Amino acid sequence: MSDITQSGPVLAADGRPLKRSLARALRMQKLRALLLIAPLLLFILVTFILPVADMLFRSVENRIVQDTLPRTVEVLADWDPASGQLPEEAAFAALAADLKEAANVKTHTKVAKRLNYENPGLSSVFRKSGRKVKNWDIANDGPFREKLIELNDGWGDVELWRTIKTYSGTFTSGYFLNAVDMRLGAEGPEVRPENERIYNTMLIRTMRMSLIITFSCIMLGYPVAWILANLPTRQANLLMILVLLPFWTSLLVRTSAWKILLQQQGVINDTLVWIGLVDDANRLVLINNELGTIIAMTHILLPFMILPMYSVMQTINPSYLRAAKSLGATDWTAFWRVYFPQTVPGIGAGSILVFILAVGYYITPALVGGTKGTFISNLIAYHISTSGNWGLGAALGAILLAVVLALYWVYDKIVGIDNVKLG
Partner 1 sequence: MSALPPYATTGQRAWYYSFRVICGLVFFFLIAPIVVIIPLSFNAQDFFTFTPEMLRLDPEGYSLKHYRDFFSNDSWQSAMWNSLKIAPMATIVSVTFGTLAAIGLSQPHVPFRRAIMAILISPMIVPLIISAAGMYFFYSRIGLQGTYVGVVLAHAALGIPFVIITVTATLVGFDRSLTRAAANMGADPVTTFFRVQMPLILPGVISGGLFAFITSFDEVVVVLFVGSAGQKTLPWQMFIGLREQISPTILAVATLLVAISIMLLATVEMLRRRSERLRGMSPS
Q: Is 201 in the site for partner 1 (CB under 8 A)?
A: no
Q: Is 260 in the site for partner 1 (CB under 8 A)?
A: yes
Q: Is 392 in the site for partner 1 (CB under 8 A)?
A: no
Q: What would the x/- binding string for partner 1 be over residues 325 to 354, using CB under 8 A?
A: ------x-----------------------
Q: In the complex, what is the shortest distance from the CB of residue 317 to partner 1, in angstroms, rounded to a whole number?
A: 14
Interacting positions 398-417 with partner 1 (CB under 8 A): 400-401, 404-405, 408, 412, 417
Q: Is 232 in the site for partner 1 (CB under 8 A)?
A: yes
Which of 348, 352, 373, 353 has its CA nearest to residue 362?
A: 373
Q: In the complex, what is the shortest distance from the CB of residue 147 to partner 1, in angstroms, rounded to a whole number?
A: 40
Interacting positions 50-79 with partner 1 (CB under 8 A): 50-56, 58
Give me the residues paired with residue 39 across strands: none
Q: Are strands 182-185 and 188-191 parallel, antiparallel or unpaired?
A: antiparallel
Q: In the complex, what is the shortest distance from the CB of residue 133 to partner 1, in angstroms, rounded to a whole number?
A: 32
Q: Is 43 in the site for partner 1 (CB under 8 A)?
A: yes
- Cβ distance to partner 1 smaller for residue 24 or 131: 24
Q: Is 323 in the site for partner 1 (CB under 8 A)?
A: no
- Cβ distance to partner 1 smaller for residue 12 or 404: 404
Q: In the complex, what is the shortest distance from the CB of residue 349 to partner 1, in angstroms, rounded to a whole number?
A: 14
Interacting positions 352-391 with partner 1 (CB under 8 A): 356, 359-363, 366-367, 377, 380-381, 384-385, 390
What count of residues does the chain have? 423
How many chain residues touch partner 1 (CB under 8 A)?
91
Positive or negative torsion for Cα 158, 161, 165, 166: positive
Half-sphere exposure for 347 (CA within 13 Å, toward CB) = 14
Contact window for partner 1 (CB under 8 A) among 72-80, 186-194, 217-225, 276-284: 217-225
CB 337 within 8 A of CB 324: yes
Backbone angles phi, psi at 62, to 5 degrees: -150, 55
Backbone angles phi, psi at 183, to 5 degrees: -150, 165
Burial class (CB within 10 angstroms; exposed 0-12, middle 13-18, buried 19+) of 32: exposed
**In 3-state terms, the chain is what percent helix, strand and coil (to 5)?**
70, 5, 25
Interacting positions 86-145 with partner 1 (CB under 8 A): none
- Distance from C-alpha of 242 to C-alpha of 346, rounded to nearest angstrom: 20
Q: At how many degrees (to 10) do helices 267-275 and 251-262 cross? A: 40
Q: Is 211 in the site for partner 1 (CB under 8 A)?
A: no
